[in-house]
């Protein structure tokens, strides 16, 4: 599955194309760390949808007007008094000029140019305007504020939901590996650690399954492997180290590991993933074990000499394990019920399971 087909990104791209269709130049702001080939993927999508696109990489450009004039092969009759208005008049109706490579160092110059372009654009009807699609990376949200009648801003924040990440990881694993009984648990754990960082999610999905349970080690391994991205991730949105997932403000795992994870957040995320997947599974296994247990435990009976049990269905898994130990229940069945009880007890006390326990087939069948 491609990331642009996920619901969150697809909705984001649709918002961009809606703005362009309405004749609004659009600034798309992202952190330094964003999805692979982000600008290229969106630009290609415009081409596929038959927009007339001209692309340019404006890295280090501090004079947008002169640079764009050269990029578009426009030859002014005179450079004296050459202006944004003169450039605008040389453009074709409906033309989309896609510009990437704008950074905090060049944003000031581009912001001034974009404001001028907006003012000029207002003189033209929306269905005849040429428009700019400007990609800006690494500019803090507080410095991004820009608006106009013919101008929109789209910020890549809170776009990927937990469901988006879960879906992406699920499909990524299914393409390369045979499904296992614990497939959904692994998908959840990877999503809990990778959050919006799909490249980190792919790295985790390619690791030996048991390694995913040694949280600090696997996160550091991923951090080292992905240093090639040449992006120093801090706890700020513009660096890719903080974002919203389903309206919750979260910090990237690499930032937590660099700070020694003082609140044990990484293990808490793994616990939450395990609890979401395994607590319902344990209840399903408890109910499934009742028919087998009825062969050896006859109701009614007294539990610990104090409580009369008239039906095994009324017993939670811990009490059921206690009852199994005090009746002639075969060891294999008794051990399975005890495993379920131990797992339930650990998760109820906010303790994540280790690899041996969490991957035990008896939890899933």
Q: pLDDT tens for residues 76-127?
A: 988 999 999 999 999 999 999 999 999 999 999 999 999 999 999 999 999 8
**Token pair 């006390």 is at which residue?**
349
At residue 305, the pLDDT reads: 67
Q: What is the pLDDT of residue 246?
A: 96
What does the alpha-carbon distance between residue 128 and residue 114 come to, in Å, rounded to a whole number?
Answer: 18
What is the reported pLDDT for 360?
95
Q: Read off the pLDDT of residues 296-308 as tens digits, 9 standing for 90 and up.
A: 887 888 777 677 7
**pLDDT computed for residue 88 by the predictor:** 95
Predicted local confidence at residue 208, as pLDDT: 95
Beta bridge partners of 303: 307
Rounded to whole angstroms, how far apart are CA atoms 55 and 168? Answer: 29
- Where the chain has pLDDT below 50, the residues are none
Q: What is the pLDDT of residue 303?
A: 75
For residue 244, report the phi and psi dihedrals to the nearest 5 degrees. Answer: -100, 135
Q: What is the pLDDT of residue 13?
A: 96
3-state secondary structure (DSSP) of residue 127? helix
285-334 residue pLDDT tens = 999 998 898 888 878 887 776 777 777 888 889 988 888 888 888 999 99
Cβ atoms 232, 239 nearer than 8 A? yes
Closest to 231 (Cα-Cα) out of 93, 33, 4, 12: 33
* Nearest alpha-carbon partner for 182 in 335, 2, 52, 362: 362
Consecutive H or E run containing 350: none
Residues 6 or more apart whose CB falls under 8 angstroms from that of 12 comprise: 154, 156, 159
CB 94 within 8 A of CB 128: yes
Q: Is the pTM of this model over 0.95?
A: no
- Rounded Cα distance between 271 and 85, Å, is 58
């Amino acid at each position: 599955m491609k990331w642009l087909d996920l619901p969150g990104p697809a909705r984001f791209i649709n918002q961009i194309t809606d703005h362009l269709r309405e004749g609004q130049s659009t600034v798309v702001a992202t952190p330094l760390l964003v999805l692979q080939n982000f600008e290229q993927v969106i630009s290609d999508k415009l081409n596929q949808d038959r927009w007339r696109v001209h692309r340019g990489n404006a890295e280090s450009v501090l004079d947008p007007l002169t640079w764009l004039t050269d990029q578009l092969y426009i030859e002014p009759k005179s450079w004296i008094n050459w202006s944004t208005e003169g450039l605008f008049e040389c453009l074709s109706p409906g033309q989309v000029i896609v510009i990437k490579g704008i950074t905090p160092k060049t944003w000031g110059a581009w912001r001034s140019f974009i404001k001028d372009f907006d003012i000029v654009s207002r003189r033209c009807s929306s269905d005849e305007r040429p428009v700019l699609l400007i990609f800006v990376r690494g500019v803090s949200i507080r410095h991004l504020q820009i608006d106009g009648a013919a101008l929109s801003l789209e910020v890549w924040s809170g776009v990927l939901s937990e469901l988006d990440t879960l879906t992406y990881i699920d499909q990524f694993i299914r393409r390369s590996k045979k499904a296992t009984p614990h497939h959904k648990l692994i998908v959840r754990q990877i999503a809990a650690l990778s959050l919006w960082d799909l490249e980190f999610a792919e790295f985790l999905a390619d690791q030996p399954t048991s390694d995913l349970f040694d949280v600090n080690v696997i996160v550091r391994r991923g951090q080292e492997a992905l240093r090639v991205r040449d992006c120093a991730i801090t706890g700020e949105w513009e660096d890719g180290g903080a974002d919203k997932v389903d309206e919750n403000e979260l910090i990237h795992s690499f930032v937590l590991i660099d700070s020694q994870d003082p609140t044990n957040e990484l293990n808490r995320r793994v616990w939450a993933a395990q609890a979401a997947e395994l607590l319902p599974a344990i209840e399903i296994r408890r109910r499934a074990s009742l028919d087998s247990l009825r062969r050896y435990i006859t109701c009614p009976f007294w539990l610990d000499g104090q409580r009369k049990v008239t039906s095994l269905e009324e017993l939670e898994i811990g009490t059921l394990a206690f009852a199994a130990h005090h009746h002639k229940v075969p060891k294999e069945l008794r051990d399975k019920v005890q495993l379920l009880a131990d797992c339930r007890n650990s998760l109820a006390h906010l303790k994540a399971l280790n690899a041996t326990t969490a991957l035990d087939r008896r939890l899933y069948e």
